[in-house]
Chain A
Amino acid sequence: MKPWQLNRKVGNLTRELGDSAESETRIDINCLTEPERKLFDRVQEIVDKYAPASPPQDAIEKNADLWYKGLEIFGRRATELFVEVIPASKCCDELEAWYFKLYFYNFWLDWLESVEQVRKMPKEQREALLCERREMGMLDRVFRLRRSQAETIKKQKIAEGKAK
């Protein structure tokens, strides 16, 4: 089968499958450990107690440990799934999987650095950035950022040194 024939066949399948956005993706609760499930049952009990409204602030505060731990479990499990499944689905060999992990680790560091910068901003500057991005429709859009090469960084440092 030629690549264009394969593309057409996969394209046809995509059209037949329709839009997946109509169903949200959920983690299978049966994969969680017994203690993890117990924690979520406890959180659900609290949510049900105040339903259909959201639990009041004092109830959340009183059980903040359950809330935070629950969020941590979801975050950890979603990350675990992402790191395990993506390289496997792309049929990566050992070297490609190693690079995947390396890039993933760097993604966290890059993101932490950007968040650190954002959190250092005075409230007004942060609000202005948010307004600007919202007006430009940038909050939900992504774009390519060229990563600085080591040589560029060296040149920048030399230039900064001379400026001082």
Chain B
Amino acid sequence: MKPSQLTKRINDLSEKLKPMPSEGIQIDFNSFTEPEQLVLLKNFELDDKYRSRWTREAILENKEIILKGNHIVISRIIELFLFVMPRALMLDEIEASFFKLNVNLFLQRWMECQKNLEKWSKTDREDFLRDMKDNPKTDKKRKHESENDGEENNN
């Protein structure tokens, strides 16, 4: 099959697949181990109990179960992403190693940024968000690349 034919056929498929967006994507619950399922079920139970009525006391009382639940979900999502993407993009060994390296760098940088953001005052956060909404910068040609790590407002 020629590349042009393949592209056309993939585009035809894309057209057929387009009109029905799903309501979100989830992990198959059966892919969690039994002890993990118990932690998650406990979290669901708490969520049902306190839905939109979460109090500071309720959070503190169940802190470790909430944190562990989040930890399980985050590790499984990262694992899935690192497993699926190199295969979906048909990367070879060296390209896949660059992929893994870049994902880890991204997560490290984002966490550093989170730490910087914690130092911002409430007013700075609100001003920044307002500016972002009022003047969204479009920079399609990436002419203004900069180091933007949340340090700017660290007064």
Contacts and interface: CB of A to CB of B under 8 A. Distances in A.
Contacts of A96: 114, 117
Chain A residues touching B, range: 35 or more
A77 to B, nearest CB: 5
Contacts of A13: 39, 64-65, 68
Interface in B60-83: 60, 63-65, 67-68, 70-81, 83
B88 A26 contact: no
Using C-beta atoms within 8 Å of the partner chain, give the interface range for chain B: 35 or more
A27 B128 contact: no
A85 B73 CA distance: 8
Nearest to B21: A33
A104 to B, nearest CB: 7
Contacts of A66: 13
Contact of B77 (A29, A81, A133, A149): A81
Interface in B96-116: 96-106, 108-110, 113-114
A69 B17 contact: yes
Contact of A147 (B9, B83, B109): B109
A18 interface: yes
